[in-house]
Amino acid sequence: MSVYDYTVKARKGATCNLADLKGKVLLIVNTATGCGFTPQYEALENLYKKYREQGFEILDFPCNQFGHQAPGDEDEIHAFCTAKYKTSFDQLAKIDVNGENEEPLYTYLKSQQPDEEIKGLKNKASMAAIEKLSTTCKKPGDIKWNFTKFLVDREGNVVKRFDPTSDPMSFEADIAALI
C-alpha cells in the first residue's frame, strides 16, 4: 500500500484520487485557522512556491478536532488562508484525523509514521502541554494537534512525521533531498 491507494474529498465535494499525484513529493498537513500554529501557512506557502515546479505538492486538510480551531466551513477557511497568507496550494475537505470518523488516509499515515521527532526543550514542553489538552489523542500514533505534517516521497512512501511545533522551514532540507 501507499498514499496513492487513497481517494479523498476535495473542497466543494469533488474527489481527489491521490494516484493522480504519483511521482510528486507530498507534504500532508492537518490545519486550523484559529491555532497558534496557523502562521505556519506562510512557511508552507514559501516552500510550495519554491518547489512546486519540481514536483512538490501540499495536501492541506482543515481539521476542527483540536480546540475547535477550524470552525468555519471550507469556503470560509479557504478565503481566510488565501487572504491572510496568500496560499496558492489548494485545500481539501475538512476531516477528522483521529477517532471513529477519521479519514482513512490518516489511519494509513499514522500506521507508517506513528511517532514524530520533537526537537528542542521548548518544543518538547509545548507538545507535553498540547497532549494534555487534546481530547481526541487517545492511542499511540494519534495526531496530537493541528499542523502535524507527513512527508511522502515520489513513490508514495511516508518517510517522516513532523510535530506541530516544527516550523516547515526547519525541514526544508528533507523536502529538497526528495525533490
pLDDT (tens digit, 9 = 90+) per residue, 10-21?
988 889 999 999
Is 80 exceeded by the pLDDT of residue 53? yes
Side-chain half-sphere CA neighbours of 159 within 13 A: 15
Question: Taking Cα atoms as reference points, which of 61, 43, 31 lies closest to residue 170?
Answer: 43
Which position has the higher pLDDT, 3 or 71? 3
Task: Take residue 49 and report the three cell numbers written for it.
Answer: 512556491
- CATH number of the domain at 165, please: 3.40.30.10
Residues forming a β-bridge with 61: 30
> Taken in order 76, 81, 82, 83, is the CA torsion positive or negative?
positive
Cβ neighbour number for residue 39 with a 10 Å cutoff:
13
Max intra-chain CA distance, the chain: 42
- What's 102-151 look like in SS3? ECHHHHHHHHHCCCCECCCHHHHHHHHHHHHHCCCCCCCCCCCCCCCEEE
Which position has the higher pLDDT, 86 or 12? 86
Q: 166 lies in which domain range?
A: 3-178
Active-site residue, from 35, 63, 81, 137: 35
Q: Domains in the chain: how many in total?
A: 1
Which position has the higher pLDDT, 43 or 75? 43
Instruction: Tell me the C-alpha distance between 144 and 160, whole Å.
Output: 16
Active site residue 16: no
Which of helix, strand or coil describes residue 22?
Answer: coil
The structure's pTM equals 0.92
pLDDT tens digit string along 115-146? 877 777 887 888 777 777 777 777 888 999 99
